[in-house]
Structure formats: C-alpha cells, structure tokens
Amino acid sequence: MIAHSILDLFGNTPMVKWRPRRSNWDLYLKLEKYNPGQSIKDRAALNMVLDAEANGRLKPGGTIIEASSGNTAIGLAIIAAIRGYRFVAVLDPYVPSEKVNLIRAYGAEIVNFDPPATMDLGAALIQRETYASELSKRTPNSIYVDQHNNPANTAAYPATLARELIEAVPDADLLFGAIGTSGSICGTSKGLREAGHKCKVIAVEPRGSVFFSSEGGPYFQSGSGNPPGIELPRILDRTLIDEGLQVTDVEAFSMCRALARCCGILLGGSAGGVLFKAYKYIEPMKREGKAVVIAADGGEKYMSTIFNDEWMRENSLLDHELEKSIAEWFS
C-alpha cells in the first residue's frame, strides 16, 4: 500500500495467531500498536476530529483540547499536525514519560495538571477533565474533545475494527478487549452485532476499577478502567457487553514481560491484562474454539515502568514465577 497521508494508515492492523499449551482454542491477537500513534485510540481520535469538522464545531485554524492518559492525545497530536490545528493535551503525573515525549514530538502543547499528593486517582481525573473543559471555554475557536462522553468515540469502531475482525476471523466465538472510555469495546461489539455476528463480547478492567465491581481501589494499568469517585462514561452501553472481568496489575504486567521474552511481542499493560484473562478463560474449556484479543497498545511506551525491574520492584509488582508460567503457556 502507498499512502497519500499518514492518516490513511490508521486501522487495518495485523494479527498474530497461536494455540497456547494446554488449550484447545486458537487465540488471535489484534495488534493495535501498528497504528501510526501506536494504539487503538488513533481510530477514535480521527473520528472525533472528523465529526467535529463535519458538524462545524472545529473550524480551520482551531484548537483541539483534550484530557488524556496519553494514547488519545498522541493520536490527536498526529491529526492536528497534519490538518493544521493547534492541540493542547492536559496530562497528569500518572502519564508515562514515553507518552509525554511522543505528544510533544508531534508539536502539541502540554499542560501538566499536578494534583495534590493527597488526591486519589479518581479525583485527579475529574480535576484534569474539568481543567480541560474550562480551558476550552476560555480559548477562542477551540473544542474540548471529551472522549469519555463523545458518541463519535464509539462510532469510530463499527466500520473499522469490527469489520476487520469479521474479515479476519468470521467464526470467532469470543472477543476480549479492555474497557476505559468504553468506546472501543462497545463500538466494536455494536459493529459485530449489526453484522449478525454471534461472538460473545467480554470486557476486561483493572482490579480497582468500578465498571463491574463496587469495590474500587488504586491500580497502575494506564488508559483502562474507571477509578472510584469518577462518573462512568456516558457513552457506556452495557447491553453491548456480555461479561466483565477484572485483572490485577501483577497479572497484567507479568503477561507483558513474559510475552516479550518468549514471543517477541511487546504489549502495553491493559493489553497484557486482557490477554491474561483471555487465556485463563479458555484454558479449562474442553471444546475447540476461537478467541480474538484486542491488544490496545504496545509496550514501547512503558519502558520506564512495566519493563523496568526497579520500578516493578518498588511497587511490589514483580512475580518471576508467574512470568515463568506464562512463558510456558505461550512459548
């Protein structure tokens, strides 16, 4: 393919297929890190900008403003650079340095929202989004993207990711994906159902998130989940999700580290968590089947955290025995 713009390379990401040991199932890993911004959020970022242009909210030379944990901001920074917009990303200290550097490399402006040390993650995210919204109100010719409540987020996936999955694995039995804004998992599910696909859709969140549990708490997985104390996304449609699962940080990060060493695949934290729960879900099943796992981003943006032994040790996340077991499943 010869593209006329980097935007033409959004989507149509590759898949890896293998059958883990002690399993009768084939696993298909959809590698969204091969989008130009290295994550699934490129798809939503582009659709939200195109939607804002189409309805007249975003005018030539305008400013795009968004609060983000990193991946959506990277996608928006690329789009703004190509289409001639100013982009302001409102970030907090939880965003990995690798993501911050990427956003800045594309020419975006960064506003660092630094919450008090006593503020929990949920309150920090509320303040971050409030700041972005207020900044947009006082910035002429600007829009606040508001990905958690923007229907164009969900609308990005039925004709793109869902279509790609149907073309690649038309007889898939299960689909596993992370849930954060809920746009990707709900939008993909919507596309599958509109096409008459009977695939069961399973969403995975970090333990501590409150989509499927009332017992919230802190977690390190970036870009997925909904911390306690913050309103659930208004675009969430629970009728499009058949089952919800939770995964610990240790399980998610151990999967990332083990898969890199046994299969040469670098996954981000949420993707590692989804793959871990997918394997544990299908392992006891006696019948044969096919499961698709959406890997939302890659591990390249987590070198200072997940793939850093010192950081993992400081946060009590290292589990060498679990990493060894995972390597045996997939090698």
pLDDT of residue 117: 59
118 against 261, higher pLDDT: 261
pLDDT of residue 69: 87
Answer yes or no: is pLDDT of 124 > 80.
Answer: no
Query: DSSP assignment, residue 233?
Result: P
End-to-end CA distance of the chain: 32
The active-site residue out of 41, 99, 190, 277 is 41
SS3 of residue 78 by DSSP: helix
Cα 64 to Cα 330: distance, rounded to the nearest angstrom: 42
Confidence of residue 263 (pLDDT cuts 50, 70, 90): very high
Cα 35 to Cα 11: distance, rounded to the nearest angstrom: 6
Q: Do domains 6-34+154-324 and 41-147 have the same CATH topology?
A: yes
Of the CATH numbers 3.30.2270.10, 1.20.1050.10, 3.40.50.1100, 3.40.1360.10, which one belongs to the domain with range 41-147?
3.40.50.1100
Domain residue spans in the chain? 6-34+154-324, 41-147
Residues 269, 180: contact at Cβ < 8 Å? no
Cα 170 to Cα 193: distance, rounded to the nearest angstrom: 12
Residues 166-210 pLDDT 10s: 999 999 999 999 999 999 999 999 999 999 999 999 999 999 999
Spell out a b/e string for 78-92, using b for 16 or more CB atoms within 10 Å of the CB, else e. Answer: bbbeebebbbbbbbb
**Is 41 designated active site?**
yes
Confidence of residue 256 (pLDDT cuts 50, 70, 90): very high
Answer yes or no: is pLDDT of 120 > 80.
Answer: no
pLDDT of residue 126: 78
Q: In what order do the strands lie in the sheet with 86-91?
A: 109-112, 86-91, 63-67, 142-144
Residues 200-211 pLDDT 10s: 999 999 999 999
pLDDT of residue 62: 98
SS3 of residue 200 by DSSP: strand
pLDDT of residue 121: 62
Residues 294, 175: contact at Cβ < 8 Å? yes
SS3 of residue 186 by DSSP: helix
Place of tokens 């939880």: 94
pLDDT of residue 116: 63
pTM, full prediction: 0.95
| Amino acid occupying residue 43 | R
Neighbours of 268 (CB within 10 A): 32
pLDDT of residue 119: 56
pLDDT of residue 125: 77
pLDDT of residue 96: 87
Residues of the chain with pLDDT > 90: what percent? 86
Residues paired with 267 in a beta bridge: 298
Residues 127-162 pLDDT 10s: 888 999 999 999 999 999 999 999 999 999 999 999
pLDDT of residue 186: 98
Longest CA–CA separation in the chain, Å? 60
Q: Tell which residue, 61, 65, 70, has the closest CA to residue 138.
A: 65
**The pair of three-digit structure tokens given for residue 169, joined into one six-digit string:** 């694995």
Residue 330 belongs to what H/E stretch?
A: helix 320-330
Residues 64-75 pLDDT 10s: 999 998 999 999
Residues 18-74 pLDDT 10s: 998 888 999 999 999 999 999 999 999 999 999 999 999 999 999 999 999 899 999
pLDDT of residue 94: 78
Residues 45, 75: contact at Cβ < 8 Å? yes
Q: Burial level of 6, CB count in 10 A (0-12/13-18/19+)?
A: middle
pLDDT of residue 95: 85
Q: Tell which residue, 125, 135, 64, has the closest CA to residue 91.
A: 125
pLDDT of residue 183: 98
Cα 55 to Cα 309: distance, rounded to the nearest angstrom: 48
Interhelix angle 269-282/249-263, nearest 10 degrees: 90
Cα 297–Cα 127–Cα 63 angle in degrees, nearest 5: 70
Confidence of residue 331 (pLDDT cuts 50, 70, 90): confident
Mean pLDDT of the chain: 94
Cα 191 to Cα 245: distance, rounded to the nearest angstrom: 21
CATH number of the structural domain 6-34+154-324: 3.40.50.1100
Q: Tell which residue, 151, 137, 134, 139, has the closest CA to residue 50.
A: 151
- SS3 percent helix, strand, coil of the chain, rounded to 5, is 40, 20, 40
